Structures are given as C-alpha cells and as structure tokens.
Structure 1
Amino acid sequence: MSSPGLLPQVFQQLNHAVAVADGESLEILAENARFFQLFPPPAEGGEDRLDIRIADLNVERLRDRLGRGRPFSVDREVKAGARTLSLAVDFRAQTIDGGERIVVEARDVSKQREAEYMLDSYSRLAERRARELEREKERVEKLLLNLMPRTVYNELRDFGSATPQRFEAASVLMLDFVGFTEMAVARDPSSIVAELNDIFSAFDRISELFGCERIKTIGDAYMAVSGVPDPNVDHATNVAKSALRFRRYLEKRNAAHPTQWRCRIGIHTGPLIGSLIGIQKYVYDVFGPAVNLASRLEQFAEPMQICLTGDTQALLNEQFRTEELGEYDIRGFGSQQVFALVGERSV
C-alpha cells in the first residue's frame, strides 16, 4: 500500500518503476504508478507482496544476497498493452524511517535487448557466412588441386600467377588402353565412364603414394610425372614403381571382372617445361622432348607392356628387372635403345 510519507512527489514522477517493500514480510509499502502498471496487484485481493507481484522471484536467494550487503537483479518480460517489455529489476536493502526495507527499481531495457539480439544475430550470421566461405574455399582448393600440383596452387594463391619452370631431369609416364575406342562404341557409356573413373582413381592413389603427380587425363590416356614441380632425384624410380603397380592393379581387376582393360605404358626421362596454362580456365601442363618421346613409346608398346628408353633404364637401380628390346627408329627422335620394364627383384 502506498505511503505518501515514503513517496515524495519526485518519486511518483520517475520514469522507472519503483517500489518499496518491507524487508521481512515483503509487503509492498509504496509504489509509483509505473510499478503498479507493470506489476499489478492480484485481482482477487489478498496479500500484496513482492514475490506475488514479481512472478517466480527466488526469495531465498534474494534474502541471501541482500543479507550480505549485495544487490540482487532479475530479468523479466511483461505485457504492456500490445507490447512485450524487457525489464531489468534491481533490488537493494535500505533503512527507511528506522525500518529495513527493500527498494525495487525496474528499468525498461527493451531497446538494449533488441540491440543485443540484433548484434547476436549478426554475429551468428557472420560466423555462418565465415563457415560457408571456408567450406567454399576448401571446395575451390580441392578442385584446383585436381588441376595442378599443390606447389603451383600455392604460388597462384599467394602471387596471383605461377611462373613457368624448366626441369632438366624429370620422368614422364604415358598410358592408354588397348581397344578403348571399340569398347566405348560397343558398351553403355555410363558403364564405361564409371569403370574408367574407378581405374584412374586407383592410378591417382598409386601416383601419390610413389611421389608422382598426375598431370592430366584425355579420354583413356593417363599422364603422370615425377620430378615436377618438386625436383626429386628418384624420379625415374618413382615412375617405374607406379607403372608396375598400374599394371598389377589391372591384372587383379581383370581377374575379377568380365571387362578386360589392357594398357600400354611408355616412360622417358629428360628435360621438360611445366607451366600453368589459361586465364579463366586453369590447367597445369608439361611440354618438351621427354613428354613427346614417352608418348611415342606408349604407342610402340605391346598390350600390358611397359617400354622405357635407355635414359630411364640407366637411372634405375638393380631393384628393377628390365629386358632389352633392341634399337628402334622412333619418329622425331631417330634411333633409340628401348627396354621393357619387367618387374622388381625380390629382396
């Protein structure tokens, strides 16, 4: 119940809702019109206490905090006509007219809460956009790494371009499949493409395992190099190991599948140039005599045979078994000593 003695005129004119309650019984002793509007007394009459006016008030915690000389605060939402207001309700103990009282002040913090909500929403949106951008960045990186080696990608990312490089010693592997054109015409295209994708995916894993870089696939042709773009003294050994495992993979696959995939492989070692080609559509490619001669040898090879030049054979250690096929005149390169890579020696 309001007491004019407790509530001077300035008290009634405050914009905040203010009330004074008995410290022991929590009975409302005085309140201004704003407090009465926001926290009306019970319609059925009866006791008029703080814990009735302010729903779900934790009286035990309130008394504990105030008893230790500390303020107590709660947040409440109340209806004010068609609007819902967010209120910050503060309680503090105070001696008034010789009695222990609880002074209650409720402030409208709706705009502050709305600003906090908008800021929080913006923060969550920014975090979501950042995650989406990170996923998109990872997707683009993955796509570009399918088109170029990582070191070239890193240079392109950091500097906006990649410098063409000459490599004095690198080994090139060229592979294609015997009778692929006839197979593609005779069989269901989706089936052929699915099998070719499985095979090339296996080749990619083998290449990566043995320090080779798949440069490109064109139809049924597969090209890999070692020593590019990262120089590697074991480039010839890496390519030889990959070639043998390509063939072994196909042999095992052919034993378990009705469709027989038979490859021809050519390997040569020599100088070449590696460069990023294109402006809008990037692709990393290699050029030079090593590439051309490896391609000629691949066409020269028999089904499931791995042919290599004397330059490559000279770099292979005793770990590998090779067979001299003889000296052949290869278009554009004259007479070349040609070897077949048979396998690896047992340790």
Structure 2
Amino acid sequence: MAEVIRMDNLSQMIPGALPQEKLGDVLRDLETGVAIVALADWRITFENGRFFQWCPPKDDADAPLSDRLDDFKADRARDRLQKNRPYRQSFEVREGARSTFLEITMRSFDGGSDYAVVECRDMTAQKRAEYMLESYSEVSERNTRELQKEKDRVEKLLLNIMPRSVYEEMKDYGTVTPQRYENATIMLLDFVDFTEMAISREPGELVAELNDIFSAFDRIVEMFGCERIKTMGDAYMAVSGLPESSPEHAADMARVALRIRRYLGRRNAAHRQTWNCRIGIATGPVIGSIVGIQKYVYDIFGPGVNMAARMESFSEPMRITMSSETYDLIADDFIVEDRGFHEVKGFGNTELFFLEGEKERTTIRRETRL
C-alpha cells in the first residue's frame, strides 16, 4: 500500500511550496480538485474536498484512482508521467439527470518522483457553451440550407418567365434595361377548337394534358437554344435570336416548329383526344423587357411579334405559315410551299409560305453540329 502523505509533509515534496501551515488550507479551499497519487498503484495519498466530491470512491474508500475514474487509461498515463509529460483525460459524471463534465490533468513531480499531482477541473460550463455553439452552428447551417433552397426555388421560377441573362441582370442591378433586337424570329402557336374543348371536357384533365404538351414544347425549344416567352391560355410563344444573337435564329425556330408539329402528330396517334395546332413564324425587330412592377413578366413586342400573330391567324390546322422575311433566311435549307400574296393587317399585301420540312443535307449538318 502506498504511503499516505500527511499535510505537514506536502511542503517537503513540492519544491518552492508555501509553508506547511498554509499549504493545506490553500489546497482545501481551491475550486479546482487536487489530489496526489502514487504512480506504482494509483493510490490516492492526498485529495482536497473538491476532488473527493467530483471523483468519489464507488465502494471502497481506499479505492485507487484507477477505480474511481471510468475508462482510465492507467498504462498510458503512467508512461507519459514517467517521461515527465502531462496526461489529460475528460469524462462525464452523472448524478440523476444532471451531468458534470470533468477534465483531469496529471503531472509528475520534478526529479523523477514516484508521485503525481492530479488536477481536476469542472468543464461543464465550457461544454455547454460548446454545445450551444454547435447547436447554433447546426441551426445556422440548416437555415442557410433552407435559404439556399428557397433562393434556388425563386431562381427556378424566375427562369421560367425570363431568359437567364435577363435574370442575371435583374439580380445584379435590380432592374432590366429594355433591349431592341433587330433580328429575331418569333413563333406563335394555338390549338384548333380549344374553346369547345374547354367547355366540353373536365377542367383538371384538360389542364393536365395542356401542361404535358407545353412541357414537351419547352424541351424542344430548349434543344435548339430558343426561349419560351409565355403561354396565354392555349397559345404558346417562343423566340430565337435573343437575348443572345444567333445567325441561325430563323433556321432554329423553323426546326422547333417542325418538331412540335411532329410531336403532336405522334401524340394524337397514341391518344383518343387530338390536339391540332396552327403555327405562325415571322422574322423582324422586337423589344424585350420586364413588364410590370409587382407582378412582372418578361415579354417581347414589336413588328416581329405582330407579324407572327398574323401568320398564326393565316395558318391552317397542323400547318406552319411563315413570312417572306423568314423564307428569305431559310429557303435554301428547308422545304417550303408558296401560298401567294395575302392582305395582312398592318403590313399590306404580303407573300406567305407554308413550311413543310427540312432538307436532308441540313438535317445531317445540324446533327453533326449538335
């Protein structure tokens, strides 16, 4: 059994210590737990009241330190102390529902002594602060993720109503400058007999089909680098050549129109309800801008849009009618049918054309380019 150190012998063991009559009082009054242990068997030869309170013996009053501390790494502690290096270990003491977090620091006496000083500190306040900080960090991270998710949702919604470059300008500057585009090609489409369909069919079923069709249109439009501008009931408007200019704007929009017609033809063959469309295409100058203050949308207007609307009204079910300006840009690469001259409101006597298909050499070139 290790020798029990008397209080009057402590001053002799600790070089430079206080006089022996004061040392005991100082150690007992410390808010920090202090003990002295023998390295050979971890017997506690001295402990103050705070150490006894925090690290009480479980059964045997003379139990060594290794029995008082849960998961005490005795061999590791002895190895470090014999090398004159401190040993630290943290542990939790539970009293009912209350937990106290403690940390012990063990240091050997100078000169290769067989004894070590054990200092025990209450780390509960620090642990709680760390826990609160960690909890706050988790809440902050969760809020940041939720905020980012909301920002992504808003961005997705805005990108559904305006081109990305317009969205970026609005995000950076809070406003969008109206832009004039001299060379743009516009497509306007609506469905034949849609009013009668809206009256006779169940609304939910009708809208679900319309959403499915418009979603397919969106994919086709995006495939050729065009922009869907808006839908108005059964009408669908798309444009090519803005906000980024493209020398292929007329050809790209012609390809979009042909593939939309092909999609509807295949869909009609597989479904009971048929959806027949009229498509108009025109090329001309337009102005693009955000319209509205609280409920805003991106819209285009100008001669090109007006001509596309006229072409759509002159078109026939499942046919694509285009203006002479569009024809001049794509005639070499597409199959067209001359419709002759027609009096077009606001534009006078105008030559119109049916777009029938794409020449094979253009298709090969386009697929290679893609």
Structure-2-length-normalised TM-score: 0.90
Cα RMSD for the two superposed structures: 1.6
| Corresponding residue to 1:296 among 304, 310, 325 | 310
| Corresponding residue to 2:33 among 9, 13, 17 | 17
| Structure-1 residue corresponding to 2:279 | 265
Equivalent-residue separation in structure 2 for 1:42 and 1:260 (angstroms): 85
| Structure-2 residue corresponding to 1:328 | 342
| Structure-1 residue corresponding to 2:49 | 33
SS in 1 for 2:40: coil
Map residues 65-80 of structure 1 onto 2, 5 A cutoff. 65-79=80-94
| Structure-1 residue corresponding to 2:247 | 233
Q: Give the aligned residue type for 2:25.
A: Q
| Structure-2 residue corresponding to 1:247 | 261
Deviation sequence 1:257-284 (CA, Å, 0-9, x none)? 1111111000110111111001111200
Percent identity over paired residues: 52
Map residues 188-207 of structure 1 onto 2, 5 A cutoff. 188-207=202-221
Equivalent-residue separation in structure 1 for 2:67 and 2:234 (angstroms): 82
SS in 1 for 2:199: helix
- Kept in 2, the 8 Å contact 1:2–1:31? The answer is no
User: Against the structure 1 CA distance between its residues 99 and 224, is the aligned structure 2 distance closer, same or farther, given a 3 Å change threshold?
Assistant: closer
Deviation sequence 1:239-261 (CA, Å, 0-9, x none)? 10000000000011011111111
Equivalent-residue separation in structure 2 for 1:211 and 1:83 (angstroms): 65
SS in 2 for 1:8: helix
| Structure-2 residue corresponding to 1:337 | 351
| Structure-1 residue corresponding to 2:13 | none
**Shift of residue 95 of structure 1?**
4.9
| Corresponding residue to 2:191 among 157, 161, 177 | 177
Equivalent-residue separation in structure 2 for 1:127 and 1:90 (angstroms): 35
**Shift of residue 183 of structure 1?**
1.0
More helix by percentage? 2
- Kept in 2, the 8 Å contact 1:171–1:270? The answer is yes
| Structure-1 residue corresponding to 2:167 | 153
Equivalent-residue separation in structure 2 for 1:25 and 1:184 (angstroms): 92
**Shift of residue 40 of structure 1?**
1.5
Equivalent-residue separation in structure 2 for 1:234 and 1:317 (angstroms): 13
Q: Does 2:218 align with 1:218?
A: no
- Kept in 2, the 8 Å contact 1:38–1:80? The answer is no
Equivalent-residue separation in structure 1 for 2:113 and 2:174 (angstroms): 78
| Structure-1 residue corresponding to 2:106 | 91
Equivalent-residue separation in structure 1 for 2:98 and 2:325 (angstroms): 87
**Shift of residue 71 of structure 1?**
1.1
**Shift of residue 82 of structure 1?**
7.6
Q: Which moved more, 1:2-11 or 1:219-228?
A: 2-11
- Kept in 2, the 8 Å contact 1:147–1:282? The answer is no
**Shift of residue 205 of structure 1?**
0.6
Equivalent-residue separation in structure 2 for 1:25 and 1:44 (angstroms): 15
Equivalent-residue separation in structure 2 for 1:339 and 1:32 (angstroms): 103
Ranges of 4+ aligned residues in structure 1 off by more than 6 Å: none
User: Against the structure 1 CA distance between its residues 192 and 83, is the aligned structure 2 distance closer, same or farther, given a 3 Å change threshold?
Assistant: closer
- Kept in 2, the 8 Å contact 1:88–1:107? The answer is yes
| Corresponding residue to 1:144 among 146, 158, 170 | 158
User: Against the structure 1 CA distance between its residues 13 and 81, is the aligned structure 2 distance closer, same or farther, given a 3 Å change threshold?
Assistant: farther
Equivalent-residue separation in structure 1 for 2:326 and 2:342 (angstroms): 16
Q: Does 2:62 align with 1:62?
A: no
Equivalent-residue separation in structure 2 for 1:99 and 1:150 (angstroms): 75
Q: Give the aligned residue type for 1:87.
A: L
User: Against the structure 1 CA distance between its residues 150 and 82, is the aligned structure 2 distance closer, same or farther, given a 3 Å change threshold?
Assistant: closer
Equivalent-residue separation in structure 2 for 1:243 and 1:236 (angstroms): 11
Equivalent-residue separation in structure 2 for 1:82 and 1:321 (angstroms): 84
Equivalent-residue separation in structure 2 for 1:81 and 1:128 (angstroms): 32
SS in 1 for 2:274: coil
Equivalent-residue separation in structure 2 for 1:131 and 1:238 (angstroms): 39
| Structure-1 residue corresponding to 2:18 | none
Q: Give the aligned residue type for 1:231.
A: S
Equivalent-residue separation in structure 2 for 1:170 and 1:19 (angstroms): 87
Q: Give the aligned residue type for 1:152.
A: V
Q: Give the aligned residue type for 2:253.
A: V
**Shift of residue 69 of structure 1?**
2.5
Q: Does 2:360 align with 1:346?
A: yes
| Structure-2 residue corresponding to 1:3 | 6
Deviation sequence 1:1-46 (CA, Å, 0-9, x none)? 562222633222211100001011111111111111111123344x
Equivalent-residue separation in structure 1 for 2:113 and 2:189 (angstroms): 99
Q: Give the aligned residue type for 2:226.
A: C
Q: Does 2:330 align with 1:316?
A: yes
Equivalent-residue separation in structure 2 for 1:337 and 1:81 (angstroms): 93
Q: Give the aligned residue type for 1:307.
A: T
Structure 2 stretches of 5 or more lacking a match?
Answer: 11-22, 362-370
Structure-1-length-normalised TM-score: 0.95
